[in-house]
Chains A and B, each alone.
Chain A
Amino acid sequence: MNLINHLINGIHVGSIYALVALGYNMVYGIVKLINFAHGDIIMAGAYVAFFALDAGMPTVVAVAASVVFCVVLGVVIEKVAYRPLRKSAKISLLITAIGISLLLENTAQKLFSATPRLFPKIIEGGFYVGDRQISMTTIVTIAVSALLMAGLTVFVKTTNAGKAMRAVSEDTEAAQLMGINVDRTISMTFAIGSGLAAIAAVLYCCSYPQVYPTMGALFGIKAFVAAVLGGIGSIPGAVVGGLMIGIAEALTKGYLSSMWADAIVFSFLIITLLLKPSGILGRKVVEKV
């Protein structure tokens, strides 16, 4: 009985993880960078949505505002901080990404203080299946995530822009020779990833209604673990990884203790890296000299 509840919870949280993991995966696939700031973009999106709702805007407008803000933020971060370093050593890029992440977190802390704010309830209700209650939040979260992921897959597989993205992530220079605007493609990748993060932020706040400056840090890292687990650079991988992490976390919280949930998630990461570094659905990449 309980098991099914935990599983539903797991899929619920897991689909949010999957949305965020998609952002990590797309960015990693295209610029080979762990975008540490991704988690903090979630935080920014949550704040924007919170203030918009607080000002009495309808839900749709608030979500749209949050998406637009995050898209702009993601593109600006890429332009200002990552683009100048694209050719330099990887360690510099990583340090910059950490710097940006800290900057967002601490600026939010200065602006909004560390006190958590209560996110209003935007999805009400629920219904019964047999004698088990399923909340509307769960249904909406799973449906929205599934829709977005399907949309993204179609986009990447069929449209010209999606093909350009795949080409750049496969071989940047060859793509450039084929006349693909690499800069624009990379900006677009960041935009899509950040937009997904904004939606993930709203969905996350529907189930954990607290907005605070460091909310994105741990959440982002766990989503990254999901991305690694599923196979970095692969869209279905992000989905599989996200769901697995979500379910593992829900089961740990249900049967063991919520204290250990984080440790379990991170052990997943270490075990994955030990057994299959390229992740469950990732391709093994052989580096050529």
Chain B
Amino acid sequence: MSGNRRAYFKRTLLNTCLCLAFFVTVNYMIGARILNRYYTNILNLVLIYVVAAVSLNLTCGYLGQLPLGHAGFMSLGGYTAAIITTRFSIPDIGPIPGQAVLFFLATVAGGIVAMIAGVLIGLPALRLKGDYLAIITLAFGEIIRVLVQNIKITGGAMGMGGIGKYTNFSWGFFWTVMVVAFTFLLVNSRHGRAIKSVREDEIAAESVGINLTYYKIVAFAGAAFFAGVSGSLFAHHICYLEPGNFGYNMSIEMLVMVVLGGLGSISGSIIAATVLTIVPEVLQTFATWKMIIYSLLLVVVMIFKPSGLMGDFELSAARLVRKIFRRKEDVPQLPENYTEGEETDEQET
């Protein structure tokens, strides 16, 4: 047992160091203008999509349900946070800038509002079998769009401007680490195994005493929270919100990222979100064909590799190190199905 714990500690240490190294390097590059504004903007957008895609993977990949209203949750989070940051301000507390505190609190509030909506919408939908969830979340996304268009506080169809550009690399990275750590720790815990068992076979899971509704709601609420967070980051990235921002297409884009990356692979989602955000930005011709290519990809991947390109394979820095040094006596063998490695593939961002 102690060996296992040591391996775990080492792994955590390694991943934390890699994370910090990545963070410091990129921050230096931004500071030294090696990455110009344009690239920094794309990088932030990548991180926003990573947060959304990883959270969607929780319901889609691990829970095995298909929600189509992820953009609805992002919309809720985005508008909530934007309303808070545009109406309130917090004075600086010593060295801590009040605006950063406000942004953090607003983002958390956005996440919580999305989470509450997730639980409310999930309660009726998740009691039912599979495909109703897809359609009810889709309906939910549309209801949110209609609401946002018709109430005053969101600016209606005109949209909502004057949102501060608070999203920067540090915030994006912070929330990315949060969502990755949360998802990784959750799916590898006892609760996570319960969630995965729901995906494999609902009836079998229920018959060994797993409370289906409870675990579905847990996964759903967690995903909704981070979708809300990503919405808040998005709102404070583009600084202007309109109801059309978070449409059905946005939900589908998230879905494509998760499906391509691999249903049940956090690193897969990160890579897919990164590639699918950068490629349309860089190749303008691709951008015009984007949706056709996405839809073809969805169909082709589903026919030939239904679990997505990476399946549930995870990149792992610890495994890489072990392979390089081949010090088997040092590292106790982990069980086969023990997935590991979390933030390691951030290096590819």
Name the residue on B nearest A275 (C-beta).
B124
A99→B299 contact, CB < 8 A: yes
CA distance A84 to B252 in the complex (A): 22
Chain A residue numbers with a CB within 8 Å of B289 are 110
Top 10 closest pairs, chain A to chain B, by CB: A99-B298, A102-B295, A266-B139, A103-B295, A99-B299, A92-B306, A263-B146, A106-B291, A274-B124, A96-B302
- A185 CB to closest chain B CB, in angstroms? 21
Shortest CB-to-CB span from A195 to chain B, Å, is: 23
Question: Chain B interface residue count: which class?
Answer: 35 or more
Within 8 A of A (CB), among B119-142: 121, 124-125, 127-132, 134-136, 138-140, 142
Chain B positions within 8 Å of A109 at CB level: 291
A289 interface contact, C-beta 8 A:
yes
Interface residue from A89, A103, A287 paired with B306 (Cβ < 8 Å): A89
Known: A260-B150, A263-B143, A269-B139. A90 touches B299 (CB 8 A): no
* CB-based contact A259/B303 at 8 Å: no
- A266 close to B143 (CB less than 8 A): yes
Which residue in A95, A217, A266 is a CB contact (below 8 Å) of B255? A95
On chain A, which size bracket covers the interface? 35 or more
What's the nearest-Cβ distance from chain B to residue A229, in Å?
12
Residues of A within 8 A of B303 (CB): 81, 84-85, 96
Please determine whether A106 and B146 come into contact, CB atoms closer than 8 angstroms.
Answer: no
Within 8 A of B (CB), among A54-99: 81, 84-85, 88-96, 98-99
Does A176 count as interface, using CB distance less than 8 angstroms? no
**Interface residues, chain B, CB within 8 Å of chain A?**
60, 64-66, 68, 121, 124-125, 127-132, 134-136, 138-140, 142-143, 146-147, 149-150, 203, 248, 252, 255, 259, 263, 289, 291-292, 294-299, 302-303, 306
Count, A-B residue pairs, CB within 8 A: 118
Q: Determine if B295 and A99 form an interchain contact, defined as CB atoms under 8 angstroms apart.
A: yes
**A270 adjacent to chain B (CB < 8 Å):** yes
Distance (whole angstroms) from the CB of B37 to the closest CB of chain A: 31
Contact: B146 with A81, CB < 8 Å? Answer: no
Minimum Cβ distance to chain B for residue A219 (Å): 12
A33 to B289 CA separation, bound complex (whole angstroms):
28
Q: By the criterion CB–CB under 8 Å, are B292 and A273 in contact?
A: no
The CA of A106 and the CA of B296, in the complex, are separated in Å by: 11
Q: Of B125, B146, B263, B298, which one neighbours A273 at CB under 8 angstroms?
A: B125
The CA-CA distance from A88 to B263 in the complex, in Å, is: 14
